[in-house]
Amino acid sequence: MIGPQLEALASSNPAVRVRKIDVVSWDSAVSKQHGIRSLPHLVLFKGTEQVASGMEDVVLRLHRM
């Protein structure tokens, strides 16, 4: 599970914030806005700009922090 690892990263780095969203419908506005088609789905933002999407890309960018 990736959740505990993300929470540990967030607690050790004040620049990182983790937000979790429960997807109850693939047709929801949030699912459509972020292109969520499977779970888990990770998106990395810097400020309000999306800089990475997808497990591998997000994890690689987080390791560079």
47-64 pLDDT, tens per residue?
889 889 888 888 888 778
The whole-angstrom separation of Cα 27 and Cα 57 is 24
Helix (H) or strand (E) holding 50: strand 49-53
Domain span holding position 29:
22-65
Eight-state DSSP code of residue 4: H
Is 55 a member of any domain? Answer: yes
Residue 4, domain member (yes or no)? no
Q: pTM of whole model > 0.75?
A: no
Number of domains observed in the structure of the chain: 1
14 vs 48: CA distance, rounded Å: 17
Residue 15 in any domain: the answer is no
pLDDT in tens, 4-41: 888 888 898 888 888 888 888 889 998 898 888 888 88
CA distances from 41 to 12, 14, 31 (A): 22, 22, 10
Answer whether residue 10 is part of any domain: no
In a domain, 11, yes or no: no
Asked if residue 62 belongs to a domain, the reply is yes
Q: Is the pLDDT of residue 1 over 80?
A: no
